[in-house]
Structure 1
Amino acid sequence: MPKKPVTHPYTDLQAFERLMLLIATFVRYPGVGSSDLNNSIEPKSGDSHDALAEVLLRLQEVARDCGIDLPTYSLHTLRKDLRTLRRYNILDSRIYRWGYYLGTGAMSLMELQVAFNALSSQAKYQQDPQVSKIYQILMRRLRGLNLADEIVYPVRAQINRAIIYTDPEEMMADSKYRGTLFEKIEQLESSIIRGQAIEIYRSRNAYQQGITEFLNIYPLQLIYSDVAWYLLHEDCQSGHLATSRLDRFTEHFKLLGSKERDLTEQWQSLQVAHELLENGWGLYLGKQEEQSLERQGKLDFINVTVRFFPDVMVFIQEGEKRHKSQKISFGAKTPDGKPSYLDYSLKLPPRSLAEFSRWVYRFMGSAQFLTPKELVEKHKQVAQELLARYL
Structure 2
Amino acid sequence: MQDPYPHSSHRRRFMAATAAGMALPVLAQPQPADKLERGSTRVSGFANAEMDFQLMRQLGTARYGGAAVGECLALAQRIRNGVPASWVSEFTAAARRQESDAQARALRSHAVSARDQYLVACNSYRAAEYYCGVQDPEHARLGLKSRECFLAAVRGLDDRVEEVFLSFGGATLPAYYVRAAGRRGQKSKTLMLISGYDGTLEETWLSYGRAALERGYHLMLFSGPGQMDTLRFHPGMSFIPEYEHIGRLALDHVLARPATDPRRVALMGISFGGYFATRIAAHEPRVRALIANSPIVDLHAYMVSFIGFDPALLPENKDVRLDEIDHIPDSAIPLQTREMMRNLMLRLGQTSFRQTYLRLRDFRVDDDSLRRLSCPALALVGTGEGAEPLVQSEHFLRAVGGPATRHVFTAEEGAEGHCQTGNLAYSAAVSMDWLDELFGA
TM-score (norm 2): 0.25
Between Structure 1 and Structure 2, whose CA radius of gyration is higher?
A: 1
TM-score (norm 1): 0.27
